Amino acid sequence: MAGRLVTLTTDFGDGSPYVAAMKGVILGIDPSARLVDLGHGLLPQDVRHAAFFLAGCLPFFPPDTIHVVVVDPGVGTARALLHVEAGGQHLLVPDNGCWTLAVTQMGAPRVHRLAERRFWRESVSSTFHGRDILAPVAAHLARGVRPEELGPVVSEWVELPFPRASTEAGRLRGEVVFVDHYGNLISNIPGAAFRELGAGPVRVRVGRRVVTQCVDAYAEADPGTPVALVSSGGWLEVAVNRGNAAAVLKARVGTPVEVVRSTDETT
Amino acid sequence: MAGRLVTLTTDFGDGSPYVAAMKGVILGIDPSARLVDLGHGLLPQDVRHAAFFLAGCLPFFPPDTIHVVVVDPGVGTARALLHVEAGGQHLLVPDNGCWTLAVTQMGAPRVHRLAERRFWRESVSSTFHGRDILAPVAAHLARGVRPEELGPVVSEWVELPFPRASTEAGRLRGEVVFVDHYGNLISNIPGAAFRELGAGPVRVRVGRRVVTQCVDAYAEADPGTPVALVSSGGWLEVAVNRGNAAAVLKARVGTPVEVVRSTDETT
Amino acid sequence: MAGRLVTLTTDFGDGSPYVAAMKGVILGIDPSARLVDLGHGLLPQDVRHAAFFLAGCLPFFPPDTIHVVVVDPGVGTARALLHVEAGGQHLLVPDNGCWTLAVTQMGAPRVHRLAERRFWRESVSSTFHGRDILAPVAAHLARGVRPEELGPVVSEWVELPFPRASTEAGRLRGEVVFVDHYGNLISNIPGAAFRELGAGPVRVRVGRRVVTQCVDAYAEADPGTPVALVSSGGWLEVAVNRGNAAAVLKARVGTPVEVVRSTDETT
């Protein structure tokens, strides 16, 4: 029988041996595991970035997939490590809220705190629980250990406060929550609300800059022109065709984004 | 039976969830697919860079491999998406010419335009056809769907104009077409023509700089010395042993490269 | 039966076709091989960096794994290529010492020099032995070729001189040997020696800077504070909680590190 799918998501980069060490530990326990890299270039120790990353990909995976996530600024402190089951998928994560946004799309979570040391490496460092706890637990799960063997069920965990946009009539207010590899700015303003308001002419403010062209596809605009559109994840996105919106508009995570009808303001 | 090989090549980088979303979609439809990353650090929306990348690797893969390529500046516009079969391998690509250089080494292509929406995700965004069309089509192919089910055969597609070198007697003229990770400059001058002319002493001009040392291996030269040699892909390459030729020679894609006999010119 | 595990470690980066070409060659010979990326962002042509990288991950892998390593500044020269068997694992490496540190943790090595050209690609370039020799040999090994078929046993090879720390009573002297993705500084001072001396108050000098806070976990310190701790690999590490120690302390590989009792010096 083919091995279980085990994915890896970390902020370890590509030049340090940490990702490879986790792969070695997993395959050392379950040589049949089928490893899948989700991404190792997450912003170092940025839990909110990880949350948005995971929300953009985990819901697509099939049941029985095991996801190991290591963006863990609290490693070695009293923060718990969790097993989360949602929609038939399994997450092994630090209890820092990185997973809660993704799971809202996957189904009600059942959560265990990792406590049974017999599934960990014998010697556990205080700086690398990914290798010493999460990787071996993932491999044991892949070999058939049941979640309830890993530790007690818990009913409380850290929820990441995710900023909500305000969508009062005729004016949408939110902020940039993710900047992707191209420099595209993803906001927390729902695409549906933007589409409704954007049926007429609108102005999209990003910090102090104003964007007036709304499109469906990047290439509808001239190269270099900032545009507003609905992102592939369903949020208001500001992009520059063939360019980098973050650089052009001097924006980053946290920059305010506002949509108003053009007729509602002068200038 | 082991799953089908499905490779992924994108310009999505390593910190955005887009690659991972495609993997989830593929495995969600065919959990037995065996994913292989070819590269996700391709230059953003640079079709010519993608063309050279693919030409340097696709011909080595075995028949039945399915390759998904997403370097797609025209996403969401009327540009087609294609299934290309060549040498028994399968490519799923935007119709922007990124694949034509590679296929010249693989055999006559048979091309279908993707049109059958039953193999796509139910909801198709206008900014991420990689996730919503190419990934699910790849997974259906992996499960046994035949190419002719995907859409109609087409006989026209975008050919990428690839600059050809001139190889008149005693003088080779071309340009830099690829700069690799080390800063090595790969030209479009065939290695065979360079070897023939280079049997005697030659001068290799790269922009305004002149390189006079020809070698077989990088380490034959002193560290820091620019050298000309035949690349692993069979082209004239200019490199700097233990250094970065692009930086040292201030060259980039498009910089002219010329080879002349030393005796044919004065200094 | 599931295919053999074949790992890849290179300094090829993520935007050049070289990694993908090797994958194609391996799968072209053994389509059942299960490829695992260890890292492709190793410092270009930095054998010492590769040595530390491999020591941090290879020992965790199961027997029968085949590791292909291409950090190879001497490609095309007379340097040999080796098959190394240690602890039941197989390494295919250039004879430049990149593997000797890892193998000290894996068992006595049995070493063959690759000489049998029938396991190589028919045409061997002088700049890419990873694709033309190491990859096909890995695939043939995966299909069952025995190491002794690859070439003659050798008893001499390049050992990488790895700087040793001095641990005289009350004073530890070493240097930074690795800087990871976060900017953490890993030294060659054994963690055990540091723990013993650090039972009392100590001063850790990194170049001209002094660190006085010793912790078990990064997050015990205030953000931005430099701390000394034992790394996940068992060495004295200097880090900055939520920051980049290499930047903050202006340190890099080779920077001297010294630990002394606080009571042993004035200031």
- Identity of the residue in C2, C23, C76 whose CB atom sits nearest the CB atom of B218: C76
Burial class (CB in 10 A: 0-12, 13-18, 19+), B247: exposed
Identify whether the C-beta of residue B53 lies closer than 8 Å to the C-beta of residue B9: yes
Asked whether the beta carbons of residue B17 and residue A65 sit closer than 8 angstroms, the reply is no
pLDDT at C267 over 50: no
How far is the C-alpha of B226 from the C-alpha of B214, rounded, in Å? Answer: 9
- The mean per-residue pLDDT over the stretch B33-53 comes to 96
pLDDT at C265 over 70: no
How far is the C-alpha of C145 from the C-alpha of B126, rounded, in Å? Answer: 50
Determine the pLDDT at residue B51. 96
Residues of chain A with pLDDT > 90: what percent?
Answer: 87
pTM for this model (two decimals): 0.95
How far is the C-alpha of A53 from the C-alpha of A39, rounded, in Å? Answer: 9
Determine the pLDDT at residue A264. 62
How far is the C-alpha of C92 from the C-alpha of C66, rounded, in Å? Answer: 8
pLDDT at B267 over 50: no
What is the sign of the dihedral through the CA atoms of C84, C90, C93 and C96?
negative
Asked whether the beta carbons of residue C7 and residue A14 sit closer than 8 angstroms, the reply is no
* Residue to test with chain A: of B124, B125, B128, B132, most A Cβ within 10 A: B125
How far is the C-alpha of C179 from the C-alpha of A129, rounded, in Å? Answer: 20
Residues C239-264: tens digit of each pLDDT = 999 999 999 999 999 999 999 998 76
Determine the pLDDT at residue A267. 45
Two structure tokens written together for A154: 């818990």
Residues C161-182: tens digit of each pLDDT = 888 999 887 899 999 999 999 9
The C-side interface with A (CB below 8 A) comprises 2, 5, 7, 9, 14, 34, 36-43, 49, 52-62, 64-65, 180-182, 216-220, 229-232, 237, 242
* Residue to test with chain A: of C181, C214, C215, C225, most A Cβ within 10 A: C181
Q: In the Cβ-directed half-sphere of B21, how many Cα atoms lie within 13 Å?
A: 25
Determine the pLDDT at residue A190. 94
Confidence of residue C1 (pLDDT cuts 50, 70, 90): low
Place of tokens 């202006």: C250
Helix (H) or strand (E) holding C2: none
Higher pLDDT, C15 or C184: C184
How far is the C-alpha of B41 from the C-alpha of B37, rounded, in Å? Answer: 11
Chain A residues whose CB is inside 8 A of the B37 CB are 37
Instruction: Using CB atoms, list chains with 3+ pairs below 8 Å to chain A.
Output: B, C
Determine the pLDDT at residue A170. 83
Identify whether the C-beta of residue A131 lies closer than 8 Å to the C-beta of residue A27: no
- The mean per-residue pLDDT over the stretch B12-36 comes to 96
> Which of A74-83, A90-99, B81-90 comes out lowest in average pLDDT?
A74-83
How far is the C-alpha of A185 from the C-alpha of A239, rounded, in Å? Answer: 6
Predicted-complex ipTM score? 0.95
Say how many Å lie between the first and final Cα of chain A, rounded: 66
Nearest CA in chain C to B34: C34
Chain C residues whose CB is inside 8 A of the B41 CB are 13-15
Identify whether the C-beta of residue C191 lies closer than 8 Å to the C-beta of residue C232: no
Residues B167-192: tens digit of each pLDDT = 887 899 999 999 999 999 999 999 99
How far is the C-alpha of B33 from the C-alpha of B30, rounded, in Å? Answer: 6
Identify whether the C-beta of residue A6 lies closer than 8 Å to the C-beta of residue A64: no
